Structure 1
């Protein structure tokens, strides 16, 4: 028995994994074969030979038979409300539809089972993979149904298509002005909206009818279970329109057990401005539900920055001075540069150490901006899975100069930037193993390579979804690695991502998920 275990009372060890290949991500002890849990926290890390001293009469002991144990996965950028909704809506991903006529046929089938007037929400189409190589229009959707309002969401989430009935309900017409930063696509000859909307997601979320409880609850439960089945024990919801109502829904779902994983919710800027006047009560404990910064959506959909640089500077400064973390959605090089400028502006006026401000996506980031981010202490929350799911499109549509700097994860890390991983689900599935695989292999779905020089080692890819993700929400002292005293959130895998060839990583399955020392997903039998 090792000296450090002398104080352990074996009678109150709740849960023990033995014969495991435990990757702790802790430098002092990187591998172990036993982990003991008590009261929802890690009690001891050691060898299977220590079992006798740790096992009590009521301890549950699980033999892992050499399977790999990691800290529970943390999706550092997702959209839970949209994810839950997506599970009860039509999916038109490239695997499911090949043409606009396929989309029409699927909507007809869905409409046949719904009463007239009921909204049809569909998602995940991508014009690049459609035979017609174009977005569907309102008139295409009208041919599928004129009795149901239809909202079709692009795979990226940055474009939507409405049929004529939906446009009438939402009062979008020839005279409708475009919201700031958005585009209502129109017929060149008449100026009439054709139903295709760009950059209008936040606006639509405000005016679309909300899903009723009967619709939403099944999706919430299904989404919560799917996250656990993928080994995800924590999420960070990055929606820019999160507010007190969404906070209360998270509280409700956490309380009734529909959503088990830990949640950090970003605030939208409007909600932030009223934060101190609204009751964001922490009734569940901050390790279960908390705020993790303020989200700003920065885009150049119209060819101009929205918000403008001066507006962005003031928004970032206001959030920064209030002591909050800032998270800026920035995809294109100009938006990443604008975000850097705004962070620099705020930090010069109000210096603050360890602010952990972050850029969400940071998709196109040339070396000079990578170095600027590092000098400012900015973290990056990016989506390696996009390389797998969208890589073929990137290789054919992204201009060469931008492609050279697309998701430069290795470069960012070499410059000392902590890069965490998220899925952006429901844009792509929330499976962390595909994110880890993509960061290691840089391979698209069809096997094409996207910037192989930006590959990273498997252990660093794992850290993106564990240790570094915890750091982005200021939680590295309570989770993200496996060590005595941290939360007992763990995942048991069928294989070791650090030992198998890169191509085999995506085939590794989650066999067990442990949350707060409790088995919440079990495929081990």
Structure 2
């Protein structure tokens, strides 16, 4: 065979290609970092050479490598290095206090204590802990707790003092300091102040962060994730250089598309930044803007939002708008509509991140504008009980309406938003197919989608949103050899069995980067 021989062949498998022209095969052959053949088992002798590694799968399923279209790698790395307060292991404020006391015993006074992942809905008290609650655990260590969402924090009294937050403190735009109704003093609960606090609480040092990135990378590989898009609004050129270093040092094998925060875009756009700068290992993606209504009004205000979106659009970049509620999704749609009317642009692929509440008419409007939706399938599973009990009925009926989005003709991609929830795509696929919560309840079963459609959101859909569908997202000769081998076929088992499937092998660029063992 000479140079035509494959380096690696996956044989006797059940290959789901996500290629409509050839939806199933039995064999995938790889040379260097590319797929060279997708065929029946009979093609094996012609592709095999003396140096070819052949893995006989015995019916196991091969899919394109999973692609998480919206996560936060640095926050995910940090979450693996600090105590985890997530349910179901932490069920009360008393549990949180106990964990803080445990951490404080061997820590000199004045050293920061950090923990993350608590969710007030799943606490017995059904509320956020306050400064007073944490002060009961320690008054000599500054404490910062990060909510599961990443958008709220709780500080004890010492941490508030070090952060310079008092009754006289003016809230930054889009932020909110929760206050005691009688005294007006901060009660320790802060919303939308992550960037502010990052300048107060000490960050992980470079060695700690590299170790966390390595742990995060291993988790991604063990989940079959070969590409991610990092959606952190704080991303800037310094973070870009950090990603490049982590890639070069081998801490992070998963391919990365890095969004740029809008503030960094404004700072750096005169430096010759171009859309899609980078390579197949690290690529610059969309520019992100967060829309919220924490204070009961839109932030950023409509005129400012239109200006920011127009500047990004005019520069040729993709716009990514974080919008959850019906009102913020509407605002995102209007701002993109405004930019596209002022300056029409084909194949812009502007996107709405989350798009949690979206009715059929809004879905049609978004589709007509060519806007993509990047959503979180696994939220149905992990947050379902919270949604059922706290989301008003008129919004609940349009919550993560996957079938509605598909019917409207929208391009939809899937993601985890890790560390908000665990990154495993199989959990998201299960949730999309079954609409079942962790407690076994159904959440809008009429919005169930077929397994292959859910798989497509983690493969083809995600590749589309990053302008990479010509090199990723399906198993086709000439595309990157990014593949995942599963213990079974998510399209051929019952919905309940999907979440129990296991990742057996993860391959990036033809290299086996993780394996359970065959």
The TM-score range, normalised by the shorter chain, is over 0.9
Deviation at 1:372, TM superposition (A): 1.0
The answer for the alignment partner of 2:406 in structure 1 is: 413
Q: Deviations over 1:17-37 (max 9, x none)?
A: 001100000011111111100
Equivalent position to 1:522, from 511, 515, 518: 515
Q: Does 1:96 align with 2:85?
A: no
- Equivalent of 2:35 in 42, 51, 67: 42
SS in 2 for 1:274: helix
Tell me how far apart the structure 1 counterparts of residues 197 and 395 of structure 2 sit (CA, whole Å): 30
Displacement of 1:279 in angstroms is: 7.7
* 1:303-357 residue CA offsets vs partner (Å, 9 max, x unmatched): 0000011111111011001100000000000000000100010000000011000
Tell me which moved more, 153-162 or 344-353: 153-162
Distance in 2, Cα, partners of 1:51 & 1:382:
39
Of the three residues 239, 243, 252, the one matched with 2:236 is 243
Provide the TM-score with structure 1 as the length reference.
0.96
- Do the aligned residues in 1 keep the contact of 2:276 with 2:283 (CA within 8 Å)? no
Preserved CA contact (<8 Å) 2:176 2:295 = yes
CA contact 1:380–1:418 (8 Å) conserved in 2: yes
1:463 corresponding residue in structure 2: 456
Q: Of 132, 135, 150, which aligns to 1:139?
A: 132
Which of 469, 472, 477 is the aligned partner of 2:470? Answer: 477
Map 1:104-503 onto structure 2 (within 5 A). Answer: 104-278=97-271, 286-503=279-496
CA deviation vs aligned residue, 1:13-69 (integer Å, no higher than 9, x gap) = 111000110000001111111110001000101011111110010011101111000
1-structure distance, mates of 2:167, 2:312? 37
Deviates more, 1:272-281 or 1:255-264: 272-281
Instruction: Tell me which residue corresponds to 1:4.
Output: none
Cα distance in 2 between the residues matched to 1:355 and 1:241: 23
2:76 matched residue in structure 1: 83
Q: 2: CA distance between counterparts of 1:431 and 1:112? A: 35
Contact 1:363 1:382 in 2 (8 A): yes
Are the aligned partners of 1:10 and 1:54 in contact in 2 as well (CA < 8 Å)?
no
In the alignment, the residues of structure 2 paired with residue 354 and residue 18 of structure 1 have an alpha-carbon distance, to the nearest angstrom, of 38
Which segment drifts farther, 72-81 or 174-183?
174-183
- Stretches of structure 1 that go unaligned for 5 or more consecutive residues are 1-7
Runs of 4+ in 1 over 6 A off after TM superposition: 279-284
Query: How many pairs are equivalent?
Result: 518
SS at match of 1:359: strand
- TM-fit CA distance, 1:208: 3.5
Q: Which shows bigger deviation, 206-215 or 98-107?
A: 206-215
CA distance in 2, matches of 1:464, 1:399: 27
1:115, 1:31 → 2: CA distance? 60
Distance 1:283 1:480 in 2: 17
TM-score, normalised via structure 2 length: 0.98
Displacement of 1:98:
1.2
Using the TM superposition, give the Cα deviation of residue 214 of structure 1 relative to its aligned residue in structure 2, in angstroms.
3.3
Asked if 2 retains the 8 angstrom alpha-carbon contact of 1:282 and 1:289, the reply is: no
Name structure 2 gaps, 5 residues minimum: none
SS in 1 for 2:245: helix
CA distance in 2, matches of 1:524, 1:63: 12
Shift of 1:278: 4.2
Q: For residues 477 and 337 of structure 1, what CA distance do their matches in structure 2 show?
A: 31
| Structure 2 CA distance for partners of 1:98 and 1:283, relative to 1, 3 Å | closer
- Superposition pairs for residues 11-22 of structure 1, below 5 Å? 12-22=5-15
Q: Which residue of 2 aligns with 1:71?
A: 64
Instruction: Tell me the SS of whatever aligns to 2:154.
Output: strand
SS of equivalent residue, structure 2 residue 505: strand
Q: Give, in angstroms, the shift of residue 254 of structure 1.
A: 0.3
Is this contact kept in 2: 1:382–1:422, CA < 8 A?
Answer: yes
Q: How far has the Cα of 1:121 moved from its partner? A: 1.6
Following the alignment from structure 2 to structure 1, what is the Cα–Cα distance between the partners of residues 10 and 501?
19
- Alpha-carbon distance in structure 2 between the residues aligned to 1:260 and 1:211: 21
Distance in 1, matches of 2:7 and 2:277, equals 23
Q: Deviations over 1:454-485 (max 9, x none)?
A: 11000000000001100000000001000000
Contact 2:65 2:484 (C-alpha < 8 Å) held by counterparts = yes
Q: 1:512 aligns with which of 505, 511, 516?
A: 505
Q: 1:490 to 1:100 in 2, by over 3 A?
A: same
Q: Distance in 2 between matches of 1:282 and 1:413?
A: 28
Deviation track 1:81-136 (CA, whole Å, cap 9, x = no partner) reads 00000000111112111111110001111222333322222111111111111110
User: Is contact 1:10-1:55 (8 Å) kept?
Assistant: no
Asked if the contact 1:244/1:280 (under 8 Å) is kept, the reply is: no
Pair 1:28 & 2:4 matched: no
Q: Is the 8 A contact 1:418 1:468 kept in 2?
A: yes
